[in-house]
Amino acid sequence: MGITKSNILAATLISLAENCTTMRDLKRIHAGAIRTGFHFHTIILAKVLRFAAVSPSGDIHYARRLFDQMPQPNTFFYNTLIRGYSKSENPSCSIGLFSQMRRDYVDPDGFTFTFLLKSRSRMNLELLVGDEIHGQVLKFGFCSYLFVQNGLIHLYATRGLPSESHRVFDEIEDPDVVSWSGLVAAHLKISDLDEARSIFDRMPERDVVSWTSMISGYSQAKQSFEALDLFKEMRIAGVRPDEVTMVTVISTCTEVGDLDAGISIHHYIEVNGFGWMISLCNALIDMYAKCGFFEGARRIFENMKKRSLITWNSMISAYANHGDVEEAIELFHKMVNSGVFPDGVTFLALLAGYTHKGLVEEGYALFKSMKRKYGVEAGVEHYGCTVDMLGKAGRLKQAYDLIVNMPIPSNDVVWGALLNGCRTYGDVDMGELVVKKLLELKPEEGGYYILLSDIYVAAGRQIEAIEMRQKMEAKGATKTPGCSWVGI
């Protein structure tokens, strides 16, 4: 039997779908399949669905519409869409799809449960009720499949249930590195670093994921020196770090202000060909700026061929924190002109810079332009920074009006910034108003009573100062240790 025109057309559509890189092209291929009567061709449909559901450039909604048009989707098609949902913003949709799969009498396989367990691990804890997926694993006889068992270990790890992870692990005949890494993750989740390290040290084999998990665990627990020491061990062991490892290590150097270690890591990045990664360059810019080596941060920024919003924000923050607001603003305009739009982080850095330099008019104009000119909604932190800026300039009434007209709820930090201004300028009347509001928000915080008492003292109103201290004692309020409103 010879090759027919139909066979050639089908092979062409399969090849096009397999090599597709954009949804625009995929829709054209799908349209071509419909026009030529191949829209239910199993292989073509599988390729099209896989790209739409699983590819980073895909469209899960398009994949669902495509799936819903299938007369009798089999296990492979269900698995493909469940897998897509497991990676999407709505992983819970995979659970509903599994229920539909059962109603349609389509049998699941090991891959079904692997993807379902991944979905479960990404769902909010409030959505998780019992271990019904684990029960389904047992019901269908997949409890001895290693990749399903690993999925269960990691599910319980994300929930912070190491005892359940151990229970599954103990049933595995020959656990692999993924199994062991799941146990490490389970103990890191509940901040049990000692047991996590004990398991890590007992691992027969360690991969980049297990090393990175342990390093990240130390870093998140603020045990920065342990994290850096473990990274050195990783390099000695000959395990090549990945992007996640390097970002974690750079962030650790930033945390402890270890510039020498940071420079050493930067050298390692360049020598080993990681220098093109935008995320690493962003982390290095942040590290150099916070460690006081501003020239290093600027050099990396200027040498970057591609820059993300985080890149621009990191450098703008570096300039603003360095006291060079003019350069920060100039860089801000360059960013906008290059087609990168600012976000809330951008404006917060600029507002902080204006506040430190005392450039009130410029800073307030920038705050007002956020929504009007750039479409960025001001958050409570932007209001807090602007109130602080106005308060330090003595524009207390303007700051008060800004707070009471906020379209979002205010908090104690915003009012505390205004109270600090009241103390600086001895405005007793405004101080009384602010403290009343603060005590509505946090009646147990004694620091507000003390600050208003200080304002009374500065104004020569000793009786009110004593009364305020007595009121604090009567209410049982205490000052939060280490908390001060001075210099917010």
Instruction: Quote the pLDDT of residue 2.
Output: 52
Q: What is the rounded average pLDDT for all residues in the chain?
A: 89
Residue 387: name the closest of 360, 362, 427, 423 by CA: 360
Distance CA 397, CA 417 (A): 13
Candidate from 32-36, 65-69, 350-354, 476-480 with smallest mean pLDDT: 476-480
Identify any residues that bridge with 478 across adjacent strands, giving them in sequence order: 445
pLDDT digits (tens, 9 = 90+) for 152-210: 999 999 989 999 999 999 999 999 999 999 999 999 999 999 999 999 999 999 999 99
DSSP 8-state secondary structure symbol assigned to residue 306: S
Please give the residue that has the higher pLDDT: either 193 or 431.
193
What sign results for the dihedral spanned by CA atoms 363, 367, 368, 370? Answer: positive
Q: How far is CA 328 from CA 318, 324, 331, 424, in A?
A: 8, 6, 5, 28
- Does residue 108 belong to any structural domain of this protein? no
Task: Give the global pTM.
Answer: 0.76
pLDDT confidence of residue 153 = 95
Tell me, what's the pLDDT at 151?
A: 93
Confirm whether 405 is domain-assigned: yes
Separation of alpha carbons 197 and 219, rounded Å? 13
CATH number of the domain residue 455 falls in: 1.25.40
Q: pLDDT above 90 covers what percent of the chain?
A: 69
Residue 433's domain comprises: 401-488
Name the β-bridge partners of 111. Answer: none
Q: Is residue 393 part of a domain?
A: no
- Does 167 fall in a domain? no
pLDDT score recorded for residue 446: 64
In this prediction, residues 76-86 reach a mean pLDDT of 95
Least-confidence region, from 13-27, 125-139, 318-332, 356-370: 125-139
**416: in domain:** yes
pLDDT tens digits, 445-454: 667 777 777 7
Say if 80 falls within a structural domain.
no
Phi-psi region of 71 (alpha: psi -120 to 50; beta: other; left: phi over 0): alpha
Confidence of residue 115 (pLDDT cuts 50, 70, 90): very high
The number of folded domains in the chain is: 1
Domain annotation covers residue 169: no
pLDDT of res. 469: 75
Would 338 be classed as within a structural domain?
Answer: no
Question: What's the pLDDT tens digit per position in 335-369?
Answer: 999 999 999 999 999 999 999 999 999 999 999 99
Distance of alpha carbon 285 from alpha carbon 476, whole angstroms: 47
Question: What pLDDT was estimated at residue 487?
Answer: 39
Q: What is the mean pLDDT of residues 40-54?
A: 91
> Which residue is associated with the tokens 């912070």?
160
